[in-house]
Amino acid sequence: MRVLEARECGHGILVEHDGYISPDDNKSIISEMKHDNFDGEIYMNAILQKFNTPNRNGRIYPEKILKRENDRYQEVIKKGGAISELNHPESSLIDLDRASHIITETWWDGNRLIGKLKLLTSPGYIKEGIISCVGDQAANLLRQGVTLGISSRGVGSLTKNGEYNEVQDDFELICFDLVSSPSTPGSYLFKEDESADSVDEPNEVVESSKQQGTDNFNKSLSMMSKLDNFLNR
């Protein structure tokens, strides 16, 4: 099974990653994590998905389907299995060697699915800042002020519905990966004491960057592949 490209119809792996956006274009950057504080676990919140909202890949997730999959995902969360990776792989399987975080809870805020995640950092990173796993890398990126988004990965079909492609009833949610630029508007990490409104984006921002997302999709996959090769050295 292959990854469907932006604006492509058919059945395959749906990864909502549409390219790289300059930090200068995204002012809601997580940049306040202290470099000298390694004595606790790192929890962050994020907008995980939105229903009935076009994303930068030209896709719409219907309310009924997204709510169904979130309900099913609750069982995965309860069992401690809501593990995800740093960057979308070109696979429907979750690689435990690349696990960076775990989703601990989700809730609805209007059409926005909000989630809390815990970074899977090592004892060495918590105590000394030593990077020895993918979760440590994600935490260090945040500490250095890098913007990280979160984006869904699943398997299903897309059919054309007017200007956009609509996700069909056979969609199955797999996980929510950390990415540099999510296709769901506003799906950036924010601190627990912040509001989702601090990172959300208006629809006109999505419209203006939709074509850019299409053009950059293959480039993004190539860059993710290079990152995979680097991490697996």
What digits encode the pLDDT tens for the residues 81-121? 999 999 888 889 999 999 999 999 999 999 999 989 999 99
Residue 28 has pLDDT above 60, yes or no: no
Q: Name which of 213, 206, 176 is nearest 66 in CA terms.
A: 176
| Model pLDDT, residue 197 | 58
- Percentage of the chain exceeding pLDDT 70: 67
Q: What is the pTM of this model?
A: 0.73
The encoded tokens of residue 76 equal 């995965």
Residues 186, 200 contacting (CB under 8 angstroms)? yes
Lowest-confidence pick of 10-24, 58-72, 87-101, 102-116: 10-24
Element (H, E) at 227: helix 203-231
Residue 145 has pLDDT above 60, yes or no: yes
Going from N- to C-terminal start, the domains of the chain cover 10-231
| Model pLDDT, residue 126 | 81
Residues 138, 231 contacting (CB under 8 angstroms)? no
Sign of the CA dihedral running 91, 102, 47, 37: negative
